[in-house]
Structure 1
Amino acid sequence: MMTKRLHLLFFLVVVAASFQCLRQSVAFTVIVDPAADFNPSATTFIRTSCNATLYPGLCYTSLSPYYNAIQQSSGKLARVAIALTLTKARHMASYLSTLSREADYSTNSRAASALRDCFTNLGDAVDEIRGSLKQMRQLAITGAGGEQFRFRMSNVQTWMSAALTDEDTCTDGFEDVPEDSVKKDVCDRMTYLKEFTSNALALVNSYANREMA
């Protein structure tokens, strides 16, 4: 009798736990399912806007998941593009920091110097992208138009251009370094980051041109 009761109790516990997991699964699906509030107009807007960039495919695939935040706003599109670029740049800076500690360049001073310079340049780029995002967030509060808008947009355009130059300088520093896996990996990753930065700058310019026309 005691064994049967234990089996019955175990069965009820399993059923209750399964039911609770099912409820949580359904609730989670409702919350995160992007199809629940899919906005084709917003994704079309993003695709069309990305045609103004040098890397439209990357632009669309990286930004379209944020269609709810972007809607059909050029300002929000540029702001999200900068925020995404900042995230990529920070990840790259973290990678370079780790690499500079782990890589054995004791026999190749040029490679070690290039890596240090690249890290410094990327640090400058991160600061410039962060400053650009701060300016864009201020614009979201103050709105478009007027001298304040022109001033902030000029800052964003200048800093994003500078960030792209700093990223170019990073890869340029490896030109005289002998080919190896570290050089290839760094340059490939930096090229990928530069594509994000270039796209963000193009979207910023499109937004500025539209609002200041």
Structure 2
Amino acid sequence: MARATLVISLAILSLLYVFSHHNAAAAAAVPSIGNSFIRASCGTTTYPNLCISSLSAYASTIRKSPRQLVTAALSVCVDRAESSKQHIQKLIKFNGLKRREYAALKDCLEVITEGVDRLSKSAQELKKMGRAGGPEYFWHMSNLQTWVSAALTDDNTCMDGFAGRAMDGRVKTSIRARMTNVAQVTSNALALCNQFAGKF
């Protein structure tokens, strides 16, 4: 009797081990699938390394879904644009800004606020698209592409305000670094939107 119980217990433990090992392997495969898809998709962007690094945290959600890939790319854009907006709001309050720096920061804040709004609308538009190829799909996709493209223009407009040697300094360096990053992830998001649109 004791031996039979031992045999049954060992069999159950073996099954549990196999089952848990299989589940762990399957769970590990999900990000791997997503990362492979991200790498392949980012190959068409202007900044592929940034594309991969900024989206890899979403691999388990993206898996092999073009829609989820674009959703994640837009989320990255919104987060970084919003962070830059908050940074500019803090800079404007600093004492000792040059008059031209203050004016450039005010202009930059205005356009980055518009950019955040457009990127947020783009993310919402993606949710409204419905089924690919449906009657309203291409209309929503057109809106999305237009807003992301406009947000990219906003990023560049912000940096234009700091052109010239007269604007050189820590403020310009700080703004340029942040806005360059926002522009690059936005450029990548637009490329992935275009890639997604081209599938249908």
TM-score, structure 1 length as denominator? 0.78
How has the CA–CA distance of structure 1 residues 178 and 75 changed in structure 2, closer, same or farther, with 3 Å as cutoff?
same
Q: Kindly report which structure 2 residues correspond to 1:128-147, keeping only aligned pairs within 5 A, or say none.
A: 128-139=118-129, 142-147=130-135
The residue number in structure 1 matching 2:33 is 41
Instruction: Give 2:152's aligned amino acid.
Output: L
Counterpart check, 1:162 vs 2:150:
yes
Tell me the CA shift for residue 36 of structure 1.
4.5
Instruction: Give 1:185's aligned amino acid.
Output: S
- 2:167 & 2:52 partners in 1: Cα distance? 36
The residue number in structure 2 matching 1:198 is 187
Instruction: Give 1:115's aligned amino acid.
Output: L
Identity rate, percent: 37
- 2:154 & 2:25 partners in 1: Cα distance? 37
Match of 1:66 among 58, 61, 79: 58
Q: Number of residue pairs matched?
A: 175
Structure 1 alignment gaps of length 5 or more: 1-32
Counterpart check, 1:54 vs 2:46:
yes
Structure 2 alignment gaps of length 5 or more: 1-23
- 2:96 & 2:109 partners in 1: Cα distance? 16
Counterpart check, 1:173 vs 2:173:
no
Instruction: Give 1:182's aligned amino acid.
Output: V
Runs of 4+ in structure 1 over 6 Å off: none
Task: Give the secondary structure class of the aligned counterpart of 1:167.
Answer: helix
CA RMSD of aligned residues (A): 1.7
Write the deviation string for residues 91-125 of structure 1: whole angstroms up to 9, x where unpaired.
110110011112522xx221111110000000000
- 1:111 & 1:38 partners in 2: Cα distance? 50
How has the CA–CA distance of structure 1 residues 80 and 99 changed in structure 2, closer, same or farther, with 3 Å as cutoff?
same
Counterpart check, 1:87 vs 2:53:
no
How has the CA–CA distance of structure 1 residues 97 and 34 changed in structure 2, closer, same or farther, with 3 Å as cutoff?
farther
Tell me the CA shift for residue 42 of structure 1.
2.0
Instruction: Give 2:153's aligned amino acid.
Output: T
Tell me the CA shift for residue 38 of structure 1.
3.5
